[in-house]
Chains A and B, each alone.
Chain A
Amino acid sequence: MIFYNALGQLPEFLQRKRPRFALEDFSARRSFNCAVLLLVLFATLVSSNVCLASTQIGKDIYQKRCSWCHGANGNGDGPAAAYLNPGPRDLTSGVFKWKSTPFDEPMPTDQDLRASIAGHKPATGTLAGLNGTSMPGWSDVLSDDEITSVIDYIKELGGLDPPALPSIELSGMTNPTDAEKARAKELFKDRCSECHGAEGRGDGTKRLKDDWGGRTWPRDLTKPWTFRAGSGVEAIYTRITVGIPGTQMPSFADTRSKKALTEAERWAVADYVASLANADTMPVAGAVARAARIETETPAMPDDPAWSKAAGAAFYLTPQLIADERLFTPTIDSIVVKALYNERDFFMLIEWHDRTKSLPGDSLAASLADGQVYPDGVAVQFPSALPDEDNATLPPFGMGGKEANGAVDIWFWQAQAKPGNNETLRILQASGPQKIKDMDTNASGVTAIGNYDKGVWRVVFKRPLKTQTDGMQFNGRRFITFSLAAWDGSNAERGSKHTLTPWLWMSMTGPPNKSIYFWPAAIGILSFAIIWLIFRNTVRRG
Chain B
Amino acid sequence: MRLIKYVFLLAVVFAALKVPGVLFAKPLPVSMLQMFFFFSAVVILLAMTATDEGAAGLVQPVISLFIDPSYTISRAVVIIIIPLIAAWITFAAVCDEAAAPPIVRSLHPSPPSAFTAYGRTIEMAGLANPYRAIEKTDEAAFRGLVLEGGKLYFKNCFFCHGAKLDGAGHFSQGLTPLPLPFKGTDTIAQLQESYVFWRIVKGGPGLPHEATPWLSAMPAWEKMMTEDEVWKTTLFIYDYTDNRSRSWAR
Contacts and interface: CB of A to CB of B under 8 A. Distances in A.
Interface of A: 64-65, 68-69, 78-80, 82-83, 126, 133-134, 136, 138, 140-141, 283, 285-286, 288, 290, 315-319, 321-324, 328, 387, 389-398, 401, 479, 501-505, 507, 509, 515-528, 530-532, 534-535, 537-539, 541-542
B55 interface: no
A542 B66 contact: yes
30 contacts: A69-B163, A79-B151, A80-B154, A80-B163, A134-B158, A286-B100, A288-B100, A322-B203, A324-B224, A389-B29, A394-B212, A395-B213, A396-B214, A401-B214, A479-B101, A501-B174, A519-B28, A519-B29, A520-B87, A520-B90, A523-B83, A524-B84, A527-B39, A527-B83, A527-B87, A530-B43, A531-B78, A531-B83, A534-B43, A539-B67
Interface residues of B, number: 75
B1 interface: no
A539 B168 CA distance: 59
Nearest to B183: A141
B219 interface: yes
B175 A519 contact: no
Given A134-B170, A317-B174, A518-B26, A392 B86 contact: no
Contacts of B160: 321
A542 B35 CA distance: 30
Nearest to B203: A322
Contact of B174 (A83, A316, A401): A316
Nearest to A318: B174
B17 to A, nearest CB: 7
B101 A391 contact: yes
B82 interface: yes
Contacts of A318: 171, 173-175, 217
Interface in B43-86: 43, 46-47, 50-51, 63, 66-67, 75, 78-80, 82-84, 86
B173 A505 contact: no
Given A69-B154, A524-B84, A524-B87, A531 B168 contact: no
Question: Shortest 9 CB-CB distances between A and B: which pairs?
Answer: A316-B174, A524-B87, A318-B174, A394-B213, A528-B83, A520-B91, A396-B214, A80-B154, A68-B154
A311 to B, nearest CB: 10
Contacts of B26: 515, 518
A346 B20 CA distance: 29
A519 to B, nearest CB: 5
B95 interface: yes
A323 B84 contact: no
A283 B175 CA distance: 12
Interface in B108-157: 150-151, 153-155
Given A141-B164, A318-B171, A318-B174, A523 B87 contact: yes
A321 B219 contact: yes
A397 B174 contact: no
Given A283-B173, A542-B63, A79 B155 contact: yes
A283 B174 contact: yes
B223 A286 contact: no
Nearest to B93: A519
Given A134-B170, A479-B101, A321 B43 contact: no
B219 A322 contact: yes
A82 B154 CA distance: 10
Binding site secondary structure of chain B: helix
Contacts of B67: 538-539, 542
B38 to A, nearest CB: 11
Interface string B8-26: 0000010001001000001
Contact of A516 (B13, B80, B94, B223): B94
B43 A531 contact: yes
Given A286-B100, A534-B46, A502 B176 contact: yes
A120 to B, nearest CB: 14
Contacts of B212: 392-394
Given A321-B171, A523-B90, A535-B79, A80 B155 contact: yes
Contacts of A65: 163-164
A367 B166 CA distance: 40
Nearest to A512: B95
Given A537-B47, A542-B66, A134 B217 contact: no
A321 B159 contact: yes
Contact of A78 (B66, B79, B154): B154
Interface of B: 13, 17, 20, 26-30, 32, 35-36, 39-40, 43, 46-47, 50-51, 63, 66-67, 75, 78-80, 82-84, 86-91, 94-95, 97-101, 103-104, 150-151, 153-155, 158-160, 162-164, 166, 168-171, 173-176, 203-205, 212-215, 217, 219, 223-224, 240
Contact of B83 (A322, A393, A524): A524
B68 to A, nearest CB: 9
Given A68-B158, A531-B78, A521 B87 contact: yes
A13 B188 CA distance: 70
A283 B46 CA distance: 45
Contacts of B83: 523-528, 531
A232 to B, nearest CB: 22
Contacts of A523: 32, 35-36, 83, 86-87, 89-90
Contacts of A141: 164
A126 B166 CA distance: 12
Contacts of A80: 154-155, 158, 163
A505 B99 CA distance: 9
Contacts of B101: 389-391, 479, 505
Given A80-B158, A523-B90, A509 B97 contact: yes
Contacts of A515: 26
Contacts of A530: 39-40, 43
B217 A479 contact: no
A391 B103 contact: yes
Contacts of B104: 390
A318 B17 CA distance: 41
Contacts of B89: 523
Contacts of A518: 20, 26
B219 A286 contact: no
A534 B203 CA distance: 53
A502 B97 contact: no
Nearest to A542: B67
Contact of B50 (A324, A401, A528, A538): A538
B219 A319 contact: no
A67 to B, nearest CB: 9
Nearest to A284: B98
B154 A316 contact: no
A505 B47 CA distance: 42
B7 to A, nearest CB: 14
B205 A396 contact: yes
A519 B214 contact: no
A438 to B, nearest CB: 24
